[in-house]
Amino acid sequence: MTPFSEEKILELDRRHVWHPYASMVDPPPVLPVAAAGGVRLRLADGRDLIDGMSSWWAAIHGYNHPVLNAAIMEQTAAMAHVMFGGLTHRPAVALAGLLAEITPAGLETVFFCDSGSVSVEVAIKMALQYWIALGKAQKNRLLTIRGGYHGDTFGAMAVCDPVTGMHGMFRSHLTPHFFADRPACRFEGLWAESDLESFRQLIAGNYDEIAAVILEPILQGAGGMWAYHPDYLRGVRRLCDQYGVLLILDEIATGFGRTGRLFAAEHADIRPDILCLGKALTGGYMSLAATLSTRRVSETISTAGPGVFMHGPTFMANPLACAVALASVELLLASDWQGRIRHIEAQLTRELAACRDLPQVADVRTLGAVGVVELHRPVNMRQITRRFVERGVWLRPFGRLVYIMPPYIISPEDLTRLTTAMVQTIAEEEVAAA
């Protein structure tokens, strides 16, 4: 690889690279990363930052983990890629078997995808093709809840929040779906049956058009970082059964322990008909996702119409990605991940409590290895990110939310550095706004 100075990297980046949610006319500042290890990002200028984001919630084991490095190197020596049409291989088969074993009961078939957004597209397509196979093609719309986020592709955008979401400009191009009010009962609060009323009315009045319900179980991610009561999810499952509607759970952000359970659906002790996984699946090493379904869904699709599921990504079940995913999941299961998450949750709850007294702060909430400080008004992204970097941490807020999702391996000392930076920087936001 041609060596580049830090200045050359930044020059070429500004000229050619279009970053996510960024302008090419007035691009935001970026930081060149030279290496990463454990919970630290090593910048090109030699500074280290403690990562509080797990690289968008994926690097649960931290960076440069020897077990995951070995898995991907061993697979590289055997085969980096092979098409999955008409062929199979051990990493994919072993990973599928493990996922079927550890996910909620009844999810027996696994369709591998390229990314979380694609896994949502696949789930939606499965639901639509399921009802087409049963001769009920009119069941072609989805029901979801406000405040949700499911990805940036068109099918996924259509079930993101239509008002507060990021994709309002595309509304005229998106399939119209049904949106129930966001559940108001907090995860740790008292349950009120009235919280389900908006959802109940929509499913009761439109079940003949609804193919599936899709939502993020317990914790809504990029749509607002809101954790709602498990009884809401139980009620959704009950109503889906009552009205003959499939239930899709999007566990792309919540899967693999983030909320304190291996999968967030376990908080409510329910199972979906279709499940979307991604992000932490490979421990942040490669892009890979999976859409799991019950045998009822997969066999119904497979015994009517064309007799096949109409989807097939080129890099589906890439052997490198499957091998490192298998190693990542096994590494998680062999560790005391539950104990780590409990300690992280307790520390986040204790140390972020100081934000409650700041006038700029509207709410503070924690669940598992997730800590959220919600402000009354949006942050200045460029300023707040710069102040975090000056304090030696990497956090990337959005909108009114300053949040943390650290790698599970983080030490109490490093976690304190992150929470201290959050409290101090948010306090400065308050002073600046006064």
User: For 68-334, which CATH class?
Assistant: alpha beta
pTM over 0.85: yes
Task: In whole angstroms, give the CA distance from residue 365 to residue 179.
Answer: 25
Of 375, 367, 434, the closest CA to residue 402 belongs to: 375
Q: From the candidates 21, 26, 45, 357, which is the catalytic residue?
A: 21
Of 310, 309, 326, the closest CA to residue 318 belongs to: 326
> What 3 state SS string does the chain have?
CCCCCHHHHHHHHHHHCCCCCCCCCCCCCCCCEEEEEECEEEECCCCEEEECCHHHHCCCCCECCHHHHHHHHHHHHHCCCCCCCCCCCHHHHHHHHHHHHHCCCCEEEEEEECCHHHHHHHHHHHHHHHHHHCCCCCCCEEEEECCCCCCCCHHHHCCCCCCCCCCHHHHHHCCCCEEECCCCCECCCCCCHHHHHHHHHHHHHHCCCEEEEEECCCEECCCCCEEECHHHHHHHHHHHHHHCCEEEEECCCCCCCCCCCCCHHHHCCCCCCEEEECHHHHCCCCCCEEEEEEHHHHHHHHCCCCCCCCCCCCCCCCHHHHHHHHHHHHHHHHCCHHHHHHHHHHHHHHHHHHHHHCCCEEEEEEECCEEEEEECCCCCHHHHHHHHHHCCEECCCECCEEEECCCCCCCHHHHHHHHHHHHHHHHHHHHHHC
Task: In whole angstroms, give the CA distance from residue 296 to residue 106.
Answer: 9
Distant-in-sequence contacts of 27-36, Cβ < 8 A, 24+ apart: 28/381, 28/382, 29/382, 29/386, 31/389, 32/6, 35/64, 36/63, 36/64
According to CATH, the topology of domain 31-64+337-433 is Aspartate Aminotransferase, domain 1 (3.90.1150)
Question: What are the two backbone dihedrals, phi and then psi, of residue 386, each rounded to the nearest 5 degrees?
Answer: -60, -40
Task: Judge whether 149 counts as a catalytic residue.
Answer: yes
Task: Judge whether 152 counts as a catalytic residue.
Answer: no
Every domain of the chain with CATH number 3.90.1150.10 lies at 31-64+337-433
Cβ atoms < 10 Å from Cβ of 409? 17
Task: In whole angstroms, give the CA distance from residue 209 to residue 177.
Answer: 10
Tokens read off for 266: 């376990």
Q: Along the 434 residues of the chain, how does pLDDT read in single tens digits? A: 667 899 999 999 999 999 999 999 999 899 999 999 999 999 999 999 999 999 999 999 999 999 999 999 999 999 999 999 999 999 999 999 999 999 999 999 999 999 999 999 999 999 999 999 999 999 999 999 999 999 999 999 999 998 888 888 898 899 999 999 999 999 999 999 999 999 999 999 999 999 999 999 999 999 999 999 999 999 999 999 999 999 999 999 999 999 999 999 999 999 999 999 999 999 999 999 999 999 999 999 999 989 999 999 999 999 999 999 999 999 999 999 999 999 999 999 999 999 999 999 999 999 999 999 999 999 999 999 999 999 999 999 999 999 999 999 999 999 999 999 999 999 998 555 44
Sheet of 274-277, strand order: 107-113, 289-294, 274-277, 246-250, 210-215, 141-145, 178-180
Q: From the candidates 279, 403, 408, 414, which is the catalytic residue?
A: 279
Q: From the candidates 250, 273, 403, 408, which is the catalytic residue?
A: 250
Task: Judge whether 136 counts as a catalytic residue.
Answer: no
Every domain of the chain with CATH number 3.40.640.10 lies at 68-334
Task: In whole angstroms, give the CA distance from residue 237 to residue 39.
Answer: 38
Q: From the candidates 63, 130, 149, 403, which is the catalytic residue?
A: 149
